[in-house]
Copies of this chain bind each other. A is one copy, B any other.
Amino acid sequence: MDPARALALLWRKEQEPTRPARGPRQGLTVDRIVRTAVSIADAEGLDALSMRKVAEPLGVSAMSLYTYVPGRAELINCMLDEVLGEAPSLRDAGGWRAALERYARGSMDIARRHPWVPPLVSSRMLMGPNETAMWDGVLGALTGTGLEEREMVAIVHLVNGYVRGAAQQLADADHDVRRAGLSYDEWYEKTGPLLETMISAERFPNLTQVWRSGVFEEPGEGLGPDRGFEYGLQRVLDGIEERIARRAAERP
């Protein structure tokens, strides 16, 4: 994989200067290919995304895609940046905390629409325009809080990490259950008896107590839909706020 070529593709800085060229016109565009690939990944997951499957609905052969895209890995890079374009703008969010909230929720929404995204984020050696814009936006929200640059970066990573963890958890549960071709109830019906003999109150007292409270059975970990996510997010932001306050106290 040539990083320079992959980067050029992400920013779509490849073909323009030489047009019109000699051969026949290109019948497709990178964007069309990327959008098709995204819809396939949304429906069937990244594993099921093959070059042949992308080519078919576009009416071309698999090898034809290689005229536009160096390979599967680079296509996935583009898909990621494509869907990151759905992130909300952080302009006029009203303070760093509101901006970070919007950022986190926006990322979570993307992860919900595109469950294949969470495992990919932060392979960030190759950033496309949308990912770059996200970074610029969230760093802008943190500018003026008195934090050092490296602290800002660490905070963005922190929020990213939290959102990804929460998103992947949802996606993975779905993935497992769907792969088994069962409903949640059927799943627990199959695994329940075995689980109960294994996870005894003597061996795992703390876990069984929490288990018995019924928290695990509610999607989103209780507290209503997505309150598990919101709760954790507020804790993250509390931690950041604490840090910002301390910074402000250190040098007023």
Contact = CB atoms under 8 A, between A and B. Distances in A.
A207 interface: yes
A149 to B, nearest CB: 4
Interface in A120-177: 122-126, 129, 132-133, 135-137, 139-140, 143, 149-155, 157-158, 160-166, 168-169, 172-173, 175-177
Contacts of A235: 154-155, 158, 236, 239-240, 242-243
Copies of this chain held together in the complex: 2
A7 interface: yes
Interface of A: 1-4, 7-8, 11, 13, 73, 119, 122-126, 129, 132-133, 135-137, 139-140, 143, 149-155, 157-158, 160-166, 168-169, 172-173, 175-177, 179-180, 182, 187, 190-191, 194-195, 198-199, 203-207, 209-210, 213, 215-216, 221-223, 228, 231-232, 234-240, 242-243
